[in-house]
A = this chain, B = another copy of it.
Amino acid sequence: MVARYELIADELRGEILSGVHPVGSQLPSESELAARHGAARGTVRQAVAVLAAEGLVGSRQGARRIVLGTARSQSFAELHSFAEWARANGYRYGGQVIAQRRRPPTPAEAARLGSGEVLDVLRLRTLEDEPVLLERTAYAEWIAGAVEKLPPGCGSVTEALYESAGLVFAYGEHLIDAVPASTRDARLLGVRRGSPLLRQRRVTTTHEGRAVECSDDRYRAGSVAFSIRNSIGANPLVRHAGDLRFGA
Q: Which residues of A contact B (CB under 8 A)?
A: 23-24, 53, 55, 58, 60, 66-69, 71, 73-79, 85, 89, 91, 127, 168-180, 194-199, 205, 207-209, 219, 221-245
Contacts and interface: CB of A to CB of B under 8 A. Distances in A.
A155 B176 CA distance: 25
A199 B245 CA distance: 21
A236 to B, nearest CB: 5
Contacts of A219: 178
Contact of A173 (B229, B241, B245): B229
B195 A222 contact: no
Given A168-B232, A194-B195, 8 more contacts: A66-B207, A174-B229, A174-B237, A176-B198, A180-B221, A225-B239, A227-B240, A230-B236
A227 B175 contact: yes
A91 B244 CA distance: 14
B178 A198 contact: yes
A230 B224 CA distance: 19
Contacts of A229: 171-174, 236
Nearest to A246: B225
A228 B231 CA distance: 15
A230 B198 contact: no
B224 A169 contact: no
A237 B73 contact: yes
A232 B207 contact: yes
Contacts of A209: 23-24, 58, 66-68
5 contacts: A23-B209, A55-B171, A58-B207, A225-B240, A227-B240
A222 B242 contact: yes
